[in-house]
Amino acid sequence: MLNIKKNTENGKTVFTLEGRLDTVTAPELEQTLKESLDGVGELVFDLKDLEYISSAGLRVLLTAQKAMAGKGDMKVKNPNEIVSEVFEVTGFTEILNIQ
């Protein structure tokens, strides 16, 4: 399951994701993002506690990236080995700003 923590400070919003971002949990994150991207200048996803991501999760990140285009920055931080590998094989390492 997925735990979403949101922290906003000075126009910078950090989402800390814990658990699994998959078909079952991705709609939840998508909904949360839809409701909170207005006026956000910097969007950060902290993935240090994210164990797993599937294409459903990638789709949400891609949607967020597109939504942020022209509005501000989006960063992805601390992905674990499994998640990094998924980013790599799908070319997401080129699309996302991963730190």
Partner 1 sequence: MEETKEGAVVIKLSGRIDSGNAPAAEENIRRTLEGKGTCPVVLDAEELAYISSAGLRVLLHLKKTNPELSIVNVSSDVYEILEMTGFTEMMTVEKAYRVVSVEGCEEIGRGANGTIYRIDQDNVVKVYNNADALQDIRHEREVARLALILGIPTAISYDVVRVGNSYGSVFELLNASSFSKILATKPEKMDWCVREYVKMLKKIHGTVVPAGKLPDMKETVLSWARFMQPYLPGDLGKKLLSMVEAVPHDDHMIHGDYHTKNLELQNDEVLLIDMDTLAVGHPVFELASMYNSFVGYSELDHEVIKAFQGFDFETGKTFWRKSLAAYLGTGNEKKLSEVEDKARIVGYTRMIRRSIRRGGLEDERAKRSIDFWKEKLIGLLEKYDTLLFTRNELEIEAIPENLPSVESFVEKHLEENDCPPKAQMQIGLAVEEIFINIASYAYAPEKGNATVRVEVSGDPITVIITFIDNGIPYDPLAKEDPDVTLSAEEREIGGLGIFITKKTMDDVSYEYRDGQNILRIKKQM
Which residues from 1-20 bind partner 1, rule CB under 8 A?
A: none
Answer yes or no whether residue 56 interacts with partner 1 by CB under 8 A.
Answer: yes
Answer yes or no whether residue 89 interacts with partner 1 by CB under 8 A.
Answer: yes
Answer yes or no whether residue 76 interacts with partner 1 by CB under 8 A.
Answer: no
Looking at 11, 59, 73, 99, which residue binds partner 1 (CB under 8 A)?
A: 59
Stretch that binds partner 1, among 10-18, 31-39, 42-50, 61-69 (CB under 8 A): 61-69
Answer yes or no whether residue 63 interacts with partner 1 by CB under 8 A.
Answer: yes
Task: Report the C-alpha gap between 37 and 89 in whole angstroms.
Answer: 28
Burial class (CB in 10 A: 0-12, 13-18, 19+), 6: exposed
Stretch that binds partner 1, among 7-15, 31-39, 40-48, 78-86 (CB under 8 A): 78-86
Answer yes or no whether residue 62 interacts with partner 1 by CB under 8 A.
Answer: yes
Distances (CA, A) of 88 to 85, 92, 96: 5, 6, 11
User: CA dihedral defined by 23, 29, 35, 41, rounded to 10 degrees?
Assistant: -130
Yes or no: say if 6 and 32 are a contact pair by the CB < 8 Å rule. Answer: yes
